[in-house]
Amino acid sequence: MNEIYMHYLTREEVSRRASSGYAIVVPLAATEQHGPHLPVFTDSLICDHVVSGAVRKAAETVQVLMAPVMTIGCSQHHLSFGGTLSFTSLTYMQMLRDIGESLVTDGFKKIIFVNAHGGNEPIMVQTVNDLAVKHPIWVASTAYWSVAREAMNELNAAELGMVPGHAGGFETAAVLALKPELVRTELMQTTHVSREWINSGVPGTFIGRHGELTGYDGYTDAPHKATAEAGRIYLDAITNCVADWLVSTVKAMDKGTAAI
């Protein structure tokens, strides 16, 4: 049985995989407002597509399972727009820790978080560090846009807008590729009030302003250039990048485990 989804397996099947050295991938997403034209499930749609495709591809080379997508994240900065479910940062950190502790109790010694919502990222990174301090396990984490940054630059994805941005050209293209019936094309704007300071710093830096952490009116750039074709190209490239990263990460964990 070559099932990649942990949640489709029985308790015995999960336990056997955990004890035989499988890595477990935990996808992190969100349910939050995405402007007037995209569904609030946008991040979760993208996350499920990318991570499931990447895990399926990686499973051809390494032992890896995928946990259920965590469809609610830390989205406090979206609550004022409505249409958002969110954990506070403290609650979300505890939730991620509890998920990690559960997986350790299940017998997993290689835990990997893959993120698809910006608000989750700092909490995710702290959580995997805390888990590795407490338990004799391997941990890793990334956001899909981090491992796919070079590929997106090569594809000139920024011509549609900020990558990944929020409810702009990039995410709109992705949803057009995945669930076009969910995009309210009649509400897509052709202009947008620019906020050049959003994501303007070098990686690892942050600048923000009260009420505008999501961009003007809850999205970062005008989505009108988005196409389903572009979305398919970007999603395929991102999925391949995440798959390659998973393979190299699990191989590094396996090599390190064998050396202990």
- What is the model's pLDDT at position 75? 97
Round to whole Å and give the CA distance between 85 and 125.
Answer: 21
| The one-letter amino acid at 105 | T
Phi-psi region at 203: left, alpha or beta (left = phi > 0; alpha = psi -120 to 50): beta
Question: What residues have CB less than 8 Å from 96, skipping those under 6 apart?
Answer: 28, 113, 123, 124, 127
Q: What is the pLDDT of residue 204?
A: 65
Position 146 scores a pLDDT of 96
Tell me the C-alpha to C-alpha distance, in Å, between residue 44 and each of 3, 40, 71, 167, 232: 21, 9, 6, 13, 16
- pTM of the full structure: 0.92
Rounded Cα gap, residues 28 and 124, in angstroms: 9
Identify whether the C-beta of residue 105 lies closer than 8 Å to the C-beta of residue 97. Answer: no
Low pLDDT (below 70) residues in the chain = 1-2, 193-214, 258-260
CATH superfamily of 6-252: Creatininase (3.40.50.10310)
Supply the pLDDT for residue 181. Answer: 98
> Tokens at residue 231, please?
């979305």
CB neighbour list of residue 205: distance below 8 Å, 6 or more residues apart: none
Count of other CB atoms within 10 angstroms of residue 71: 18
